[in-house]
Structure 1
Amino acid sequence: MIDIKKLNPDQQKAVEYTGAAQMIVAGAGSGKTKVLTYKVAYLLKHGYKPESILALTFTNKAANEMKEWIVELVGKKAEAIWMGTFHSIFARILRTEAKNIDYKSNFSIYDTEDSYSLVSNIMLNFNIEIEGLTVNSVRHRISFLKNHMIMPAEYRKKFVKGFRDEKIAEIYEEYQKRLIANNSMDFEDLLLKPIQLFNSNDKILHKYKSRFNYILVDEFQDTNKAQYELLKMLVSRTCKISVVGDDAQSIYSWRGANLGNMQDFKKDFKNHKLFKLEQNYRSTKTILAAADSVIKNNKNQVSKTLWTQNNDGEQLTLIRCADEKDEAFQLAKYIKKEISKKKLSYKDFAILYRTNAQSRAMEDIFYKEKIPYIIIGGVEFYKRKEVKDVIAYLRVIANQNDEESILRIMNFPQRGIGNTTVTRMIAFARKHDLTLFQTMNRVFEVIDIKERIQKNVKGFRVLLEKYIKLKDSLSVGELSLALIDELGLVRMFKSENTPESQSRLENINQLMAAISEYSKENKDAKLDQFLEEVSLVSDIDMKDDKKNAVTFLTVHSAKGLEFPIVFISGLEEEIFPLANRFSEDSTVEEERRLFYVAV
């Protein structure tokens, strides 16, 4: 049951407005999630079909929680809403329209590490060694170009001005060719490919323009150019749009977020109406005053005045420390003291930092002091080596063209297939226009590979073919657990009996538990659906709110979360704000916004 009177007057107005275009500037802690939830419920109550509503969120966790709340308000019909992150929604569209972009619907999604590996292999193959031109710098450049919708041909035509640029163009061209050959896309492709598809196929564009009657976008200040372009393409005379954001919380320029989208929205949708949510429900007056004292120094921002009915609260505490070890010790001491009073639990505490490297000293001290902790934003679970190895097996079972995944697992667990063998097989594949998977079946034709190794390669392919045949008859859980058992990973890590192998064993056990849980909750899910979820999941999506442990996380990872007691560590020049963030006003302003988010 939807009772709009539970909202404050400004929230009510924002929910009830259903004009062509709406911008909601929602200050920190102003209840924007509640407003979005009620707005979708309000639309459903007033005749909008759930399948005609597209709601785009910043994280999968936010999407799932919001959908659950909407179901509570209006019932099961809300499950038909198109709700998720930009990447998950447009991956869904791309799988449906795969044949129109010369892909198969079972394409793999490459994460940052996969992308890095592909660039590295290309630079190795092309024998590119230029001072300052690292794999990481090239990968970042390609990501930047894609986020700005600049393809290799345009880059070569407009931006190549010297030898270094020429080499980047060569790598970029080959990178795109390899992705297509591997039936794979990187994160940027999940936004770029739909733009290309819509631009080249009016029929498909019309199909989705006519499907959606209302589009809602959360965290609009963190959208990039490609995401905003997609929104403009989908909005039509029969489709309305509401965007929700706060320019004071724009902290992702380093990964392509374009704060200018908020100003562009006002120009592109001249008939838009602006709503402001300024009442803060989360913070005390003291916290608001502290945050405002910093953010008010920024010049380029939307005018708004946050206020709260909450009490003054406690004063902020400044802890002076000699160094990072002393800081970690003092935080541990403070937490143990508060816990001893039996008023708080470990999970009530969070320690925020500017960079992941700052957590190391805290981890050491907290381990010695026997204080339980969890880390968000370190090495993400699905990027841990042994977990990623198993996922690579599953990706090859789903998509045999995925060369990067085959390369990753060809000798895991060890089966005597070395780098020289792999190099010769790749050369054979390129010469005969074969995939690496096809080449494994013709390994006996590859020159200078010993018979023993040929048999090992053949055995590897037989193993994969067994599970390829089983994938449609077994559930995701049954298939994955059978594979892990046949690979002997649990036995292998147990027998090694080292602290590192014990950690890896725990990760494999956690992976098996996660797959089993997914399989129970999604009984009809196909393997590629599970792999897509894994590819797009973040550490925030996996956060266990029930675990009683102190949370360590970067300020970027903390956005949107709240804790009873928060420590912001490393508040000194060159750490927070970072040393290289004083060169331009825009970067200094982003450091202020980051501190504002932390407070």
Structure 2
Amino acid sequence: MRTSKDLISDADSDAFYFRALEKQGIYLNEPQIQAVRHFKGPLLTLAGAGSGKTSVLVCRTGYLIAVRNVDPRNILLVTFSKKAAEEMRKRIARLPGLNDSIAATIQARTFHSFFLRIIRMHGVTQDILSETRYQHILLKRILREMGLQDAYQPEPLLSLLSSYKMQMIDVDSLPESSSEEKELKLIFAEYDKWKAANDQIDFDDVLLMAYKLLQQKPPLLAALQKRFLYVMVDEFQDTNMAQYALIKRIVEPHRNLMIVGDDDQTIYSFNGAKNEFILNFDKVFAEAKTITLDINYRSTSSIVGLGNEVIRHNARRKKKTLKATRQSKTSPQYLRPKTADDEAKTIISYILNQAKQGKRAFGDFAILYRTASNSRAIIEQFVVEDVPFVDYGSDESFYDHWIVKPLIDQNLNNRKVCHF
């Protein structure tokens, strides 16, 4: 496979940048080079799984600064997780000609942290109800008080509410044509009422408040448009209407928007994400250029092959076939549980059976989940079935963990206070 070492001549004006990348062990393939070199106007980068999209985003950021002389303060790089944003900043700082102080001036943030900062600067003081676990507990309490604890689960309720809000549909406008719709509207109204009474907002509220703020304050919008002349959005397939609307407003004057994503990987449709934003990108931005990253460097041929076979049946998609660089005889398995609890029970049942039969030890298993909210049912099943586990997804100490802390608090409450 040809890389920058073969494709970029020393006579090219930007060869110094790619030679410096190669010294760091970064050898970009042809589509990656095209994406990194893109300068003005909209760009759709279709990035299949494991195709090096993060390297492209990082290297293009460095290219804009080192080759195009763009002020790093004019760059906005939006990701979907705090960890991804921090990782990008670290990698940008290691690029040729850059350092930590330069990387710190680049706005590499999640949607929520970026727009939270904006609304905080303009008078929003409410605390953030940031723990999904607490949102689940709150919804469970609301359901119990309404006598609906057996009818609904907190995870799908929270996802449905988020989907409505990210489509910019407020609770007051929800339909009431059936008894179920009436119940849902009441549940969501109670949830919003609790937040208001306790001076709290959630992450969905952050985006909606930001959008209204930009509508109400044209000078603020103009300042953001003037500041962020180059905008890049990662994992664009998971973008919802509110996020897309915010980004479109910021890039409206210059249209220097690079989006990176894969319409086949849209997994947050239940939460308002729409792969139509990728599919219709060249209609909204008629002058957009499209580049496809179709070489998978992460997974083996059996996994990539299965993925290709599954997604090729999608009715509406950008045509692409991933190619694997690694071979393996491993055969992946596919399950489709109905609920989070069903999924957890299936996983823990499999682990218990393997352990009882002596085929595997508990320490041989690792469970990966997309978001922190997915861990709730799994952890509960571990506790119920008395399966030892380590939760690497939490930054809390052992004694502050939500499973352990109530037990310690209860024990302390039952003990007599001694006075010396």
User: If the length of structure 2 is used for normalisation, what is the TM-score?
Assistant: 0.73
CA drift of 1:160 comes to: 3.1
CA drift of 1:366 comes to: 7.5
Q: Quick one: distance in 2 between partners of 1:202 and 1:64?
A: 31
CA drift of 1:111 comes to: 3.1
Give the match for residue 231 of structure 1. 247
CA drift of 1:387 comes to: 4.6
Q: How does 1:65-214 map to 2 (within 5 A)?
A: 65-73=87-95, 74-75=98-99, 76-98=101-123, 103-104=124-125, 107-116=127-136, 128-129=146-147, 134=152, 136=154, 139-155=158-174, 159-161=175-177, 165-166=181-182, 168-169=184-185, 172-173=188-189, 175-214=191-230
**CA-atom RMSD, angstroms?**
4.2
Gaps of 5+ in 2: 1-15, 334-345
Q: Secondary structure of 1:254's match?
A: helix
Q: Is the 8 A contact 1:29 1:282 kept in 2?
A: yes
Q: How does 1:431-442 map to 2 (within 5 A)?
A: none
CA drift of 1:15 comes to: 0.5
Q: Quick one: distance in 2 between partners of 1:185 and 1:352?
A: 29
1:57 to 73, 79, 83: 79
Give the match for residue 16 of structure 1. 37
2:304 to 284, 288, 292: 288
Largest Rg, 1 or 2:
1
Q: Secondary structure of 2:323's match?
A: coil
Q: Is the 8 A contact 1:248 1:295 kept in 2?
A: yes
Q: Quick one: distance in 2 between partners of 1:129 and 1:494?
A: 31
CA drift of 1:273 comes to: 0.6
Q: Quick one: distance in 1 between partners of 2:356 and 2:37?
A: 50
Cα gap change, 1:232 to 1:353, in 2 (>3 Å): closer
CA drift of 1:283 comes to: 3.1
Amino acid across the alignment from 1:64: E
Q: Quick one: distance in 1 between partners of 2:196 and 2:33?
A: 48
1:37 to 55, 58, 73: 58
Q: Quick one: distance in 2 between partners of 1:365 and 1:175?
A: 33
Does 2:341 align with 1:316?
no
Give the match for residue 7 of structure 1. 28
Q: Quick one: distance in 2 between partners of 1:390 and 1:362?
A: 11
Q: Quick one: distance in 1 between partners of 2:231 and 2:198?
A: 33
Q: Secondary structure of 1:333's match?
A: coil
Q: Is the 8 A contact 1:328 1:362 kept in 2?
A: no
Name whichever of 261-270 and 169-178 sits farther off: 169-178
Q: How does 1:123-522 map to 2 (within 5 A)?
A: 128-129=146-147, 134=152, 136=154, 139-155=158-174, 159-161=175-177, 165-166=181-182, 168-169=184-185, 172-173=188-189, 175-310=191-326, 312-314=327-329, 316=331, 324=350, 327-329=353-355, 333=359, 350-351=366-367, 367=388, 374-375=390-391, 386-387=400-401, 492=412
Q: Is the 8 A contact 1:328 1:365 kept in 2?
A: no
Q: Is the 8 A contact 1:14 1:35 kept in 2?
A: yes
Q: Secondary structure of 1:28's match?
A: coil
The Cα offsets for residues 228-265 of structure 1, whole Å up to 9 and x where unpaired, read as 11111211223511110112222222333222221232
Q: How does 1:550-569 map to 2 (within 5 A)?
A: none
CA drift of 1:28 comes to: 1.6
Identity %: 30
Bigger share in helix? 1
Cα gap change, 1:353 to 1:179, in 2 (>3 Å): closer
Q: Quick one: distance in 2 between partners of 1:308 and 1:164?
A: 47
User: If the length of structure 1 is used for normalisation, what is the TM-score?
Assistant: 0.53
